[in-house]
Amino acid sequence: MTFHELSLFFDRIEKTPSRLTMTEILAELFTVTNAQEIDKVLYLLQGSVVPLYKKADFGMAEKLLTKAFISGLQIDKKQFDQVYQKNGDLGTTIEELRGSITVIGESDLSIEEVFEKLYKLTQVTGTGSQDIKASIIIELAQSLDALSCRFIARIPTNTLRLGFSDMTILDAFSWMLTGGKTLRKQIEEVYQVNPDLGLLGKTIKEKGIEGLSKIGPVLFTPIIMMKAERLASVEKIMEKVERGIIEPKYDGFRLQIHHNKHDTKLYSRGLDDVTHMYPDIVAGIEKEVTAKEIILEGEAIGYDIQTGGFLPFQETVQRKRKYNISEKVVEIPLRLFAFDILYLNGQNLIHKPHIERRLLLNSTIKVSGDVAVDTILISPLQKMENSHQIEIEFEDAISKGLEGIMIKRDDGPYQPGARGFNWIKYKRSYSSKIDDTIDCLVMGYDFGKGKRSGFGIGAILVGVYDVKTDKFVTVAKIGTGLTDDEWRLMFKKSQVLKSSAKPALYDCDDLMNPDVWVKPEIVLEIRADELTRSSIHTAGRLLKRTKSGGGFEVDVPGYALRFPRLEAIREDKRPTDATSLTEVEEMYVAQKK
Ligand code: ATP
């Protein structure tokens, strides 16, 4: 297939406001794509040349890319600035300018040829690399047609966001095979273990749905992490768990570690490779882990050498940084409490009961057990006995400055990506009526009034994730509780994510439409006093036909956050990691009790 043909699909996807139509277009695209090119098509659809967890670094700022286009197309800089000012977007600017000129030697490059060139952008480094990159862009600008150039301009600048989630792609795989979504669940189970969409697409093309069943955990491909359900009382925990263990809940950050004798990599909740940030953990793993090949998980937390205690989250989080890493290693040393093992020496362990996995974990790490000496420790556990003991363990954890406890069922498998009662979190309850914070996606913002007009942003529309429909539904507009710096940061972050139309994954009442739509990317941790019912928010809202039959009216109102305020920006969460609508419903029920 030519890159131009692919661009026609990109254009159709970009223009459709309907998620269902998007699924159909994607399925059509996958049908006409052959097995050799489908993985490349899938990476390009995501604006990349590698699976998303690998993060393609094109190393091309907008300025360099623009310069290359201007020189390749021999456009006047003034003319460029004029069109750019009118369009406000680099892709359509390049498209318009490319369309107005004829280039001798224009050819139809194949997807593979374009992919190779884009891939090369991520590979060249060092002196002279900027010139090589510019020449690649010049070549593409001269070879490809105007529409293709729109997308070529967006990929290296990380601004190609066609507006679908990975779930839409999984639906489209099913659609291609059956004309419906019947295989989605089966495909999704494999995706949670191996979220390389290119690999999944290629396997389906080559071997059909049966081929997928052979895909299991692969070293250095992060597994989507299992999540815990929250429960607010010991009685409820006892109802859900017959036999289980209690572990401290450390308030740090989660890491999934992949290790063999050649390499060690650390992945965050959002599947980012964060190895370079934590050299002390890498050294600890290389020293203390005895297994040849292993995937394990744990929580990293800052350790206070003076007191022998653990640091609060606000201090631990300072270790998440790109610069001055070695300084911080000394200032805030980390300890990793390993709590699960998913893969060992070629063996997939995710289906094994928790109790067996824990025994295996113990046998793969050589620890002295002294927190002052070891970097890697095994999370201590207690057999769960009765409700009184759960309370004691909980109080004990709190008194040590921890967040609470985790209860894990003995017979529970590791369920990638799922939130279930095999893991339960029991946290300190807060003074507010909601026991926990809610992670919301930024869907848009309003221009500010008064003082905030200076920041360009005055209220942020946020929503939660409805897993069933793969849509984001609104729960609040946040207008207070951010510091001036946070407003500025939110404005800055939103600028590259602006969307001229409502993204297809958003479900929002017209009354709530923000001044500016923001594409799905930023997740905020929000605290609120209470969940209330509201007819203007779409989370959990049901509509019915009006009596006249001409329109719709609210049948069941949605959920809204009362007095929402920002706790943190959750860089480690992907949009679909936002709190789910089901969780909001459960929190609402729990709060009423
Ligand atoms: P969630 O992970 O449920 O989406 P979250 O990121 O806000 O939400 P929490 O509500 O704090 O996290 O609870 C789950 C997290 O607790 C895990 O992702 C992990 O990072 C952390 N954690 C701390 N101690 C443990 C432990 N012993 N076992 C499992 N997870 C633990």
pLDDT digits (tens, 9 = 90+) for 350-394: 999 999 999 999 999 988 878 888 999 999 999 999 998 998 898
Task: Note whether 564 and 462 are within 8 A (CB).
Answer: yes
Distance CA 254, CA 539 (A): 28
- CB of 227 within 6 A of ligand 1: the answer is yes
Q: Whose CA is nearest to atom 20 of ligand 1?
A: 254
Here the tokens at position 9 are 């699909």
425: annotated binding-site residue?
yes
Predicted local confidence at residue 431, as pLDDT:
39
Predicted local confidence at residue 104, as pLDDT:
66
Query: Per-residue pLDDT tens for 391-434?
Result: 889 888 887 778 889 999 999 999 999 999 999 999 865 434 56
Task: Note whether 3 and 148 are within 8 A (CB).
Answer: yes
The ligand 1 atom nearest the CA atom of 253: 20
Average pLDDT over residues 168-183: 96
The ligand 1 atom nearest the CA atom of 425: 13
CA 424 to ligand 1 centroid distance, Å:
9
Q: Which residue has the higher pLDDT, 453 or 37?
A: 37
CA 288 to ligand 1 centroid distance, Å:
24
Choosing from 249, 408, 477, 519, the catalytic residue is: 249
- CB of 428 within 6 A of ligand 1: the answer is no
Query: At residue 183, does pLDDT exceed 50?
Result: yes
With cut-offs at 50, 70 and 90, classify the pLDDT of residue 573.
very high
Q: Whose CA is nearest to atom 25 of ligand 1?
A: 249
CA 579 to ligand 1 centroid distance, Å:
13
- Summary mean pLDDT of the chain: 92
Task: Note whether 573 and 416 are within 8 A (CB).
Answer: no
CB burial string 231-258: b at 16+ within 10 A, e below: bbebeebbeebeebbbbbbbbbbbbbbb
3-state DSSP assignment of residue 568: strand
Q: Whose CA is nearest to atom 11 of ligand 1?
A: 251
For residue 340, give the nearest of 287, 280, 294, 389 by alpha carbon.
Answer: 294
Contacts of 235 (CB under 8 A, 6+ apart): 387
Predicted local confidence at residue 369, as pLDDT:
79
CA 270 to ligand 1 centroid distance, Å:
13
Q: Which residue has the higher pLDDT, 491 or 106?
A: 491
CA 511 to ligand 1 centroid distance, Å:
36
CA 228 to ligand 1 centroid distance, Å:
7
Average pLDDT over residues 53-79: 90
242: annotated binding-site residue?
no
- CB of 301 within 6 A of ligand 1: the answer is no
- CB of 254 within 6 A of ligand 1: the answer is yes
Task: Note whether 298 and 337 are within 8 A (CB).
Answer: yes
Predicted local confidence at residue 430, as pLDDT:
42
- CB of 299 within 6 A of ligand 1: the answer is yes
Predicted local confidence at residue 73, as pLDDT:
87
150: annotated binding-site residue?
no
Residue with tokens 């360009």: 456
Query: At residue 452, does pLDDT exceed 80?
Result: no
Q: Whose CA is nearest to atom 1 of ligand 1?
A: 227
- CB of 228 within 6 A of ligand 1: the answer is yes
Q: Which H or E run contains 135?
A: helix 129-143
Q: Which residue has the higher pLDDT, 481 or 541?
A: 541
Q: Which CATH superfamily is domain 3-154 in?
A: DNA ligase, ATP-dependent, N-terminal domain (1.10.3260.10)
280 backbone dihedrals φ, ψ, rounded to 5°: -65, -35
Residue of 254, 414, 576 with the most ligand 1 atoms within 8 Å of its CB, for mutation: 254
- CB of 247 within 6 A of ligand 1: the answer is yes
- CB of 526 within 6 A of ligand 1: the answer is no
15: annotated binding-site residue?
no
CA 419 to ligand 1 centroid distance, Å:
11
- CB of 4 within 6 A of ligand 1: the answer is no
Is 249 one of the annotated active-site residues of the chain?
yes
Domain boundaries, the chain: 3-154, 227-431, 438-592
Total residue length of the chain: 593
Average pLDDT over residues 1-5: 95
Query: Per-residue pLDDT tens for 322-347?
Result: 889 999 999 999 999 999 999 999 99
The ligand 1 atom nearest the CA atom of 436: 10
With cut-offs at 50, 70 and 90, classify the pLDDT of residue 593.
low
3-state DSSP assignment of residue 111: helix
- CB of 406 within 6 A of ligand 1: the answer is yes
Q: Which H or E run contains 546?
A: none
CATH fold of 438-592 reads: OB fold (Dihydrolipoamide Acetyltransferase, E2P) (2.40.50)
The distance in angstroms from the start CA to the end CA of the chain is 59
Average pLDDT over residues 275-298: 96
Q: Yes or no: is domain 227-431 CATH 3.30.470.30?
A: yes
